[in-house]
Amino acid sequence: MMSINIVAYKCKKCGRVHFPFHDRCLACKSREFEEIAPKGNAKLLTYTTIFNLPWGFDQRFLIIGIAEFENGVKAMGQVDAQSVEGLKLGMKVRPNWASVRQQHGEDIYGLKFEPIE
Protein backbone atom coordinates (compact mmCIF):
# COMPACT_ATOMS: atom_id res chain seq x y z
CA MET A 1 0.00 0.00 0.00
CA MET A 2 1.26 3.46 -0.89
CA SER A 3 0.64 6.65 1.05
CA ILE A 4 -2.42 8.66 0.05
CA ASN A 5 -1.11 11.24 -2.38
CA ILE A 6 -3.74 13.96 -2.07
CA VAL A 7 -3.80 17.32 -0.29
CA ALA A 8 -6.92 19.09 0.96
CA TYR A 9 -7.20 22.70 2.05
CA LYS A 10 -8.69 23.96 5.31
CA CYS A 11 -9.91 27.56 5.45
CA LYS A 12 -7.99 29.46 8.14
CA LYS A 13 -11.00 31.70 8.81
CA CYS A 14 -13.98 29.32 9.10
CA GLY A 15 -12.43 25.83 9.03
CA ARG A 16 -14.24 24.46 5.99
CA VAL A 17 -12.27 21.69 4.26
CA HIS A 18 -11.96 21.87 0.46
CA PHE A 19 -10.81 19.20 -1.96
CA PRO A 20 -9.78 19.98 -4.59
CA PHE A 21 -8.38 23.49 -4.15
CA HIS A 22 -10.64 26.52 -4.60
CA ASP A 23 -9.36 30.09 -4.97
CA ARG A 24 -11.82 31.25 -2.30
CA CYS A 25 -13.51 29.42 0.55
CA LEU A 26 -16.95 28.28 -0.56
CA ALA A 27 -18.37 29.21 2.86
CA CYS A 28 -16.79 32.55 3.86
CA LYS A 29 -14.91 33.67 0.68
CA SER A 30 -11.54 33.87 2.51
CA ARG A 31 -8.39 33.19 0.45
CA GLU A 32 -6.20 31.80 3.27
CA PHE A 33 -5.86 28.03 3.56
CA GLU A 34 -3.67 25.49 5.28
CA GLU A 35 -2.81 22.22 3.59
CA ILE A 36 -4.04 19.06 5.30
CA ALA A 37 -3.67 15.41 4.40
CA PRO A 38 -6.45 12.85 4.74
CA LYS A 39 -6.17 10.82 7.94
CA GLY A 40 -7.27 7.33 8.90
CA ASN A 41 -9.97 5.25 7.29
CA ALA A 42 -13.00 6.78 5.64
CA LYS A 43 -16.80 6.49 5.59
CA LEU A 44 -18.55 5.83 2.27
CA LEU A 45 -20.97 8.72 1.68
CA THR A 46 -22.30 7.77 -1.76
CA TYR A 47 -21.45 5.61 -4.76
CA THR A 48 -22.52 4.89 -8.31
CA THR A 49 -21.73 2.39 -11.04
CA ILE A 50 -20.48 3.55 -14.43
CA PHE A 51 -21.17 1.13 -17.28
CA ASN A 52 -20.31 3.32 -20.28
CA LEU A 53 -16.55 3.63 -19.80
CA PRO A 54 -14.24 5.55 -22.10
CA TRP A 55 -11.92 3.73 -24.49
CA GLY A 56 -8.96 2.11 -22.75
CA PHE A 57 -10.71 0.54 -19.76
CA ASP A 58 -10.59 -3.25 -19.62
CA GLN A 59 -13.34 -3.51 -17.00
CA ARG A 60 -17.02 -3.82 -17.90
CA PHE A 61 -17.93 -1.25 -15.24
CA LEU A 62 -16.48 0.85 -12.42
CA ILE A 63 -17.87 1.62 -9.00
CA ILE A 64 -17.01 5.19 -8.00
CA GLY A 65 -17.59 6.55 -4.51
CA ILE A 66 -17.19 9.63 -2.37
CA ALA A 67 -15.85 9.00 1.12
CA GLU A 68 -15.08 11.18 4.11
CA PHE A 69 -11.83 10.67 6.03
CA GLU A 70 -11.68 10.87 9.82
CA ASN A 71 -10.46 14.50 9.67
CA GLY A 72 -13.28 15.71 7.38
CA VAL A 73 -11.50 15.49 4.00
CA LYS A 74 -13.92 14.24 1.33
CA ALA A 75 -12.56 12.63 -1.82
CA MET A 76 -13.77 10.62 -4.80
CA GLY A 77 -12.20 7.36 -5.90
CA GLN A 78 -12.83 3.86 -7.19
CA VAL A 79 -14.52 1.44 -4.82
CA ASP A 80 -12.65 -1.87 -4.88
CA ALA A 81 -15.68 -4.21 -5.10
CA GLN A 82 -16.95 -6.71 -7.66
CA SER A 83 -20.53 -5.41 -7.39
CA VAL A 84 -22.62 -2.97 -5.36
CA GLU A 85 -24.08 -5.84 -3.37
CA GLY A 86 -22.66 -5.59 0.10
CA LEU A 87 -21.95 -1.87 -0.21
CA LYS A 88 -23.92 0.41 2.08
CA LEU A 89 -23.83 4.09 2.81
CA GLY A 90 -21.87 4.90 5.94
CA MET A 91 -19.72 1.77 5.81
CA LYS A 92 -16.02 2.00 6.65
CA VAL A 93 -13.58 1.88 3.76
CA ARG A 94 -9.79 1.73 3.72
CA PRO A 95 -8.16 4.27 1.37
CA ASN A 96 -5.31 3.15 -0.84
CA TRP A 97 -3.24 4.83 -3.56
CA ALA A 98 -3.23 2.03 -6.13
CA SER A 99 -3.37 1.23 -9.83
CA VAL A 100 -6.81 2.18 -11.16
CA ARG A 101 -6.13 1.14 -14.77
CA GLN A 102 -3.39 0.51 -17.30
CA GLN A 103 -2.62 2.76 -20.24
CA HIS A 104 -0.03 1.88 -22.88
CA GLY A 105 1.24 -0.89 -20.60
CA GLU A 106 1.81 1.42 -17.62
CA ASP A 107 -0.13 1.56 -14.37
CA ILE A 108 -2.15 4.73 -13.73
CA TYR A 109 -2.52 5.40 -10.01
CA GLY A 110 -5.41 6.94 -8.15
CA LEU A 111 -7.48 6.72 -5.00
CA LYS A 112 -9.22 3.40 -4.29
CA PHE A 113 -11.50 2.57 -1.36
CA GLU A 114 -11.61 -1.00 -0.04
CA PRO A 115 -14.68 -1.95 2.04
CA ILE A 116 -13.60 -3.18 5.49
CA GLU A 117 -16.90 -4.09 7.17
> Which CATH number covers residue 43?
2.40.50
Within a domain: residue 51? yes
Q: Is residue 56 pLDDT above 80, yes or no? A: no
How many separate domains does the chain show?
1
Alpha-carbon gap, residue 82 to 59, rounded angstroms: 11
Give the pTM: 0.83
- pLDDT tens-digit map of 57-115: 778 899 999 999 999 999 999 999 999 999 999 999 999 988 888 878 888 888 999 99
Within a domain: residue 28? no
Domain range enclosing 57: 39-115
Within a domain: residue 18? no
Residue at 10: amino acid letter? K
* Nearby residues of 70 by Cβ (< 8 Å), 6 or more positions away: 39, 40, 41, 42
Write the Ramachandran bin of 72: left for phi over 0, alpha for psi from -120 to 50, otherwise beta.
left
- pLDDT tens-digit map of 31-41: 999 999 889 99
Number of Cβ within a 10 Å radius of residue 60: 7
